[in-house]
Amino acid sequence: MQTLIVKQWTAKTLPPDWFKPQQEIQKNSKSLEDTVKTIISQVRKDGDKAIIEFVEKFDKTKLSIQALRVSAEEIRAAYCKITPQQLDALLFMKQRVETYQKQQVQPENQINLDGISIKTVLYPLDSVGCYVPGGQAAYPSTVIMTVVPAKVAGVKRIVVCSPTDATGKINDLVIVASDICGVDEVYKIGGAQAIAALAYGTQTIRPVRKIVGPGSKYVTMAKVLVSTDVAIDMPAGPSEVLILADETADPRLIAFDMISQAEHGTDSVAGLITTSNRLAENVQKILTELASSTERSEKISESLKKYGFIITCDNFKEMVELSNQFAPEHLEVITKNAQDLTKDLVAGLILLGPYSPVPLSDYASGTNHVLPTGTFAQSFSALGVFDFSRRVSIVECSKAGLEKVRSNVKVLAYIENLPNHYKAIDARF
């Protein structure tokens, strides 16, 4: 049997930079930044010609400029190649996400403060680009997670970019998901070149106002670099799960959850922090057994060896402190007092109890699985309808209302040495 070693520490033996690998995945190297800058520069300079060259270089397939956009014929053909059960599952997921997102949108709210009326309204962005990873795997769920909130917000133009396989095709399920969600344009482009095309446009692709969606370290770096010119959602890089558990947790379930995270790719992060030494030992043992015998075992084993870990703590306080230091994308809490811990935890998404694994949130809960990674959960939130909207305050004041604040405005204006601010008020009387 293959030996699998997941890094294991106690809270007392934990090195100060224990989560440094997680940050390294996100921050990347100078050479990577230079590579992505070159790609972006080439796309800005040569447009479609550069895109075609990069598709051939990175996706190992040749496309004509005319074939970059998925055609109506390709959309119809994709429906014929998927099963009724697959279509039903996509429609189910779309409905779940749509229901949740619609509940997030508040009706216009208005307050009145002594003659001053203030109304807050949401206006949709006019265009959005959604990046959907692909190539080796298909992620129609990412289409739904990125497009549905944009549709609920009322975005007028939604573009999807996704890399092709070696035959020059986008996965049929990604195409169908794009169609049922109402995507306006789908392009066969991946990687940093897709982000550059969405940000700056080419002869074929018009630029968008905002770019959203997860991707590789190249995609994440490209989003960061173009963010000075176009809005982005968040630095959503390789996926993470952290599990907080006590002696009441089932070690087999925890092992399955860590393995399910590790199968995303060799740069995925899966960790357990527990107050139970026995649980830690059992999870380590079960991981070794399962990872060598399950599907995609080679990728899972490599991921767990590189970025898998188990940490044992003396108490819940230590667990919470370490968890918040890590600030994971997904945080599972399987303890006897899980609900009580939530107010103190920092994470992109918190899942409580033994029946709330990450795959539930990936496919069925209606919550969004485009989440901040690499400790960015400390300052970013899950993708949602508000990410596709502009919030605007509309103020209308009566003469009586302006009279009531007149004296305070005068004092404040002179405090800041802006006398004409007050004169603009006073002139109205």
For residues 109 and 122, what is the distance between their CA atoms, to the nearest angstrom?
10
Neighbours of 336 (CB within 10 A): 10
How many beta carbons lie within 10 A of that of residue 428, not counting itself? Answer: 10
Average pLDDT, the chain: 93
3-state secondary structure 50-109: HHHHHHHHHHCCCCCHHHCECCHHHHHHHHHHCCHHHHHHHHHHHHHHHHHHHHHCCCCE
What number of CA atoms fall less than 13 Å from residue 120's CA on the CB side? 8
Query: Model pTM?
Result: 0.90
- Identify the active-site residue in 185, 302, 330, 369: 330
Q: Between helices 30-46 and 217-226, what is the axis angle to 10°?
A: 60
- For 345-372, what is the mean pLDDT? 96
Query: Residue 93 is encoded by which pair of tokens?
Result: 């997921």
- Give the pair of three-digit tokens for residue 104: 């997030």
Q: Is the pLDDT of residue 265 over 90?
A: no
Residue ranges of the alpha helices (H) in 181-292?
191-200, 217-226, 251-262, 277-291
Q: How confident is the model at residue 66 (pLDDT cuts 50, 70, 90)?
A: very high
Q: Say how far apart CA 66 and CA 46 lie, in whole Å.
A: 16
Give me Rg for the CA atoms of the chain: 25
Q: At what angle do helices 172-180 and 140-153 cross, to 10 degrees?
A: 20
34, pLDDT greater than 50: yes
Separation between Cα atoms, residue 121 and residue 134, nearest integer Å: 36
Annotated active-site residue in 185, 240, 263, 329: 329
Q: Which residues contact 176 (CB under 8 A, 6 or more apart)?
A: 75, 78, 79, 82, 86, 87, 90, 140
Rounded mean pLDDT, 224-238:
90
- Cβ atoms within 10 Å of 276's Cβ, excluding its own: 17
- Look at residue 1 in the predicted model and tell me its pLDDT: 42
Catalytic status, residue 369: no
Tell me the pLDDT tens digit for each residue of 108-166.
788 998 899 999 999 999 999 999 998 667 899 999 999 999 999 999 999 999 999 88
Identify which of 397, 367, 388, 396 has the alpha carbon closest to the alpha carbon of residue 122: 388
185 assigned to active site: no
How crowded is the C-beta side of 322, counted as CA atoms within 13 Å? 31
* Residue 398 neighbours by CB under 8 Å, 6+ apart: 115, 116
Q: Percent of the chain scored above 70 by pLDDT?
A: 96
At residue 271, φ and ψ (nearest 5 deg) are -140, 155
Token pair of 217 as six digits: 């370290």
Length of the chain: 429
Q: Tell me if 406 sits within 8 A of 167, measured CB to CB.
A: no
Would you list the DSSP string of 115-145? TEEEEEEEEE-SEEEEE---SSS--HHHHHH
Q: How confident is the model at residue 393 (pLDDT cuts 50, 70, 90)?
A: very high
Long-range contacts of 1-4 (CB under 8 A, 24+ apart): 1/288, 1/289, 1/292, 2/288, 2/291, 2/292, 2/297, 2/301, 3/288, 4/287, 4/288, 4/291, 4/292, 4/301, 4/304, 4/305
User: What would the pLDDT profile of 86-118 be if each residue is shown by its tens digit?
Assistant: 999 999 999 999 999 999 887 778 899 889 999
Per-residue pLDDT, averaged over 210-233, amounts to: 94
Q: For residue 145, is it left (φ>0), alpha (ψ between -120 and 50) or beta?
A: alpha
User: Rounded distance, CA 103 to CA 188, Å?
Assistant: 33
Residue of 345, 349, 341, 379 whose CA lies nearest to 367: 349
Report the C-alpha gap between 298 and 122 in whole angstroms.
47
C-beta separation of 187 from 197 below 8 A: yes
In the structure encoding, which two tokens stand for residue 37, read together? Answer: 């800058």
Alpha-carbon gap, residue 398 to 324, rounded angstroms: 48
Q: What average pLDDT does the segment 171-188 reach?
A: 98
pLDDT at 30 over 70: yes
Q: Residues of 32-56 as b/e, b for ≥16 C-beta within 10 angstroms?
A: eeeebeebbebbbeebbebbbebbe
